[in-house]
Amino acid sequence: MQVQVPDPKPYLVKAGAIIWIQFYGLQYDPKYFPEELKLVRFLDENRRSECNLNAYYPFGLGLRMCIGNRFELLETKIMPFHLLAHCDLKPCKKTSIPSKLKKSVVSIFSMQTEGSLWLSVVPRENSHSTQPITNTN
């Protein structure tokens, strides 16, 4: 839905005034997101060219931000834990061995490989099995 404003004039906002912005309208505006569902626009290499981050607020902003934001962040942190608790990550045919690490200032603090790191996810037969604990005394 597109709204035409007849004779738009400048509007002065007084100090201390509360301003409400409807983020839903921004995210469905074809000016900012011309294609309905194109998830590749959020990949790192496409972010600057295809994604207007000034118009993307999936959970809103401020004190009344959607409570789903914290749930989603928690879910994102818990998912890798459960994946590793029930599956093994193993090299596959596309895995380059040995992996080459990036040589940059950023990679000093977080290890990053050149290109992609391909691994296969293999479910464990017994996901609760652990290494036997041996008494060293």
If you average pLDDT over residues 66-92, what whole number do you get? 88
CA 117 to CA 108: how far, in whole Å?
Answer: 18
pTM: 0.44
Q: In this predicted model, what pLDDT tens digit does every residue of 53-75 receive, in sequence order?
A: 677 777 877 788 888 888 988 99
CA 30 to CA 106: how far, in whole Å?
Answer: 36
If you average pLDDT over residues 100-105, what whole number do you get? 73
pLDDT category, 111, cuts 50, 70, 90?
confident
CA 112 to CA 101: how far, in whole Å?
Answer: 6
If you average pLDDT over residues 27-50, what whole number do you get? 75
CA 76 to CA 60: how far, in whole Å?
Answer: 19
